[in-house]
Each structure stands twice: as structure tokens, then as C-alpha cells.
């Protein structure tokens, strides 16, 4: 089902490369080639040997009355990065809208139901990774259900990427994710400050972003932190942050909900041979 999407990724990168050759220097060209190689490493090769699901089954937890676009982009970009199946678990009212964006998605209108946690738990054995937060909003009922889903996912050792209002929930209750090293948090500037205030007692040292990212990761018990911005900074608390590199002319990650996309595939464990 996602083959068409996956086929698109490589030619698009090729076009970016071509355009960049004519606009930029040899140095940038080398960077672009590295970027192209990175994309190739992430996107699973097409093969006739596998069956649907083996290259990734990803769950997105988000989507409420106001926000339907973010979970759609999160789910679709998982497919575009090579996953086979994207499931969206959202509020009832958001479901028909998210479904209508694309027939590629499997959308469960359960997130505001009284038995939301049980409904999502049924699907957890199938999922390789979970993304929590895009379009979640801050409704009390939804956040309470998401807490239950986080606990159930941790109990199954599932990698979890947390973004947007998922990070707002973590800032309210850092214990939810404390020490869970299969979690990746992807805060922008504001979300980073909020997490820092919740977890570290002293004020953020804005003159040294590298040290701050390392320290927040350590304070959370080596949860991976990806601080989005002009240059994204990534740390797992073991090492000082590494920079990410993105093609020139691309909007900063902090300007949109695009960052969780590749992380979803990277966070997923090697697909089981089932």
C-alpha cells in the first residue's frame, strides 16, 4: 500500500541534490551527498521478500477537535520514511477528517472514549514505535488517557517519540518518562524551556545550548532529547549533543511538526521476522 510513497522519497532527494548543485558550493554538495546517504540508510529498500508490516508499524497518538493536520503529517511521514502501516489514535470528532486526508491511514476514533487505554492496548503488540503528541491538545480527558497509554507502552518496551502537547504532559509529570531510555523527546525552544523548568531547578543557561541539552537528558535519566531549532541538538545523556544537518532552504524544525518523522523509523527496533 505504501510502495508508491516510498518510491517517491529517493527521486525527491535527487531533485534536491540537482538543484543544490547549481546553487551552492562543493562543500554543500558534499553535505548533500551525506544527507542523501542518510536518507538511503533510513528508508528500507523495496523487496519482494517481505510482507506488509515487516518494515514498520507505527502508531500516532493525537488529533482532537481543533487539530487534525499534525497527526496526519506525522502518520504520513512515517509512511514516506518507509514504514508499512500508520495507525492514528485520535478523538472521535477528529477521525473522519483525518481519514479523509488520506486512504493510506488507519484511524481509530478512541482517544476520548471511556475505555481509550484498553482500546489502544489491544493494538500495542502490533506496533514497532509510538508517536505521542501531534495535535493532541490539552483537554484533561485526553491527557489522562494518554498517561495510561504511555504506561502501557512502557510496560511493553515500545520506543516512544514525544512531541507537541505530549511534551506539555511530560512537563506536568516528568515521572511519566523518567529513566525510560526508549523515549525520544523533540522539544522546540518553548517546549525545551518548559521541560527544563519542570525537571532542573536552576534557570536555563541560554549561552550554552549544548550543555543544556546534555543536562536535561541526564536529568530525565538518559531519555534522548532532540532540541529543535536553527541547528537541532541531540543528546542521550551519555555524549555531548551532536548537530543534525539539514539541506539549505528548508524551514527550521521548530517551525513545524516535521521532526518526529524520521525519528519514528529510527526509533523502531529491527522488525521481527513475523
- Looking at 26-34, 179-187, 215-223, 227-235, which segment touches a copy of itself (CB under 8 A)? 227-235
* Nearest CA among 151, 146, 141 for reference residue 60: 146
One of 18, 21, 25, 96 touching a copy of itself (CB under 8 A)? 96
One of 212, 217, 224, 254 touching a copy of itself (CB under 8 A)? 254
Among left, alpha and beta (phi > 0; psi -120 to 50; other), residue 88 is beta
Q: Which residue number, 180 or 246, has a Cβ lying nearer to a copy of itself?
A: 246
DSSP 8-class letter at 142: H
One of 145, 257, 259, 260 touching a copy of itself (CB under 8 A)? 257
Provide the grid cell at 11: 527521486
* DSSP strand pairing (242-243 vs 233-235): antiparallel
Residue 144, Cβ neighbours under 10 Å: how many?
Answer: 12
Strand ranges inside 91-240, DSSP E: 106-109, 129-132, 160-162, 183-185, 224-227, 233-235
- Looking at 93-101, 141-149, 212-220, 234-242, which segment touches a copy of itself (CB under 8 A)? 93-101
- Looking at 46-54, 152-160, 167-175, 261-269, which segment touches a copy of itself (CB under 8 A)? 46-54
Residue 112 binds to a copy of itself (criterion: CB under 8 A): no
One of 38, 252, 266, 271 touching a copy of itself (CB under 8 A)? 252
Residue 188 binds to a copy of itself (criterion: CB under 8 A): yes
DSSP letter string over 174-185? GGGTTT-TTEEE
d(CA 227, CA 182): 17
Query: What binding mask, one character per residue, do residues 57-76 give for a copy of itself by CB under 8 A, x or -?
Result: --------xxxxx--xx---
Residues that bind a copy of itself (CB under 8 A): 1-3, 7, 46-52, 65-69, 72-73, 84, 96-97, 99-109, 188-190, 229-231, 249-252, 254-258
Amino acid at each position: 500500500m505504501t510502495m508508491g510513497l516510498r518510491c517517491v522519497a529517493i527521486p525527491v532527494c535527487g531533485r534536491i541534490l540537482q538543484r543544490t548543485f547549481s546553487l551552492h558550493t562543493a562543500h554543500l554538495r558534499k553535505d548533500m551527498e551525506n544527507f542523501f546517504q542518510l536518507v538511503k540508510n533510513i528508508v528500507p529498500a523495496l523487496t519482494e521478500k517481505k510482507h506488509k508490516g515487516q518494515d514498520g508499524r507505527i502508531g500516532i497518538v493525537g488529533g482532537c477537535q481543533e487539530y487534525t493536520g499534525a497527526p496526519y503529517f506525522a502518520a504520513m511521514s512515517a509512511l514516506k520514511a518507509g514504514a508499512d502501516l500508520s495507525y492514528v489514535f485520535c478523538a472521535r470528532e477528529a477521525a473522519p477528517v483525518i481519514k479523509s486526508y488520506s486512504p493510506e491511514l488507519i484511524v481509530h476514533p478512541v482517544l476520548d472514549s471511556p475505555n481509550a487505554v484498553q482500546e489502544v492496548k489491544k493494538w500495542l503488540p502490533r506496533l514497532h514505535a509510538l508517536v505521542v503528541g501531534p495535535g493532541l491538545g490539552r483537554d484533561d480527558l485526553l491527557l489522562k488517557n494518554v498517561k495510561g497509554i504511555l504506561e502501557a507502552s512502557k510496560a511493553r518496551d515500545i520506543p516512544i517519540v514525544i512531541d507537541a502537547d505530549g511534551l506539555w504532559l511530560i512537563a506536568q509529570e516528568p515521572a511519566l518518562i523518567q529513566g525510560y531510555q526508549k523515549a525520544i523527546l523533540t522539544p522546540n525552544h518553548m517546549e525545551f524551556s518548559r521541560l527544563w523548568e519542570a525537571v532542573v531547578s536552576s534557570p536555563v543557561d541560554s549561552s550554552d545550548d549544548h550543555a543544556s541539552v546534555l543536562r536535561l537528558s541526564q536529568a530525565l535519566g538518559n531519555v534522548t532529547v532532540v532540541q529543535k531549532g536553527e541547528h537541532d541538538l541531540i543528546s542521550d545523556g551519555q555524549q555531548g549533543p551532536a548537530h543534525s544537518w539539514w539541506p539549505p532552504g528548508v524551514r527550521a524544525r521548530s517551525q513545524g511538526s516535521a521532526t518526529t518523522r524520521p525519528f519514528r523509523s529510527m526509533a523502531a527496533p529491527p522488525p521481527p521476522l513475523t
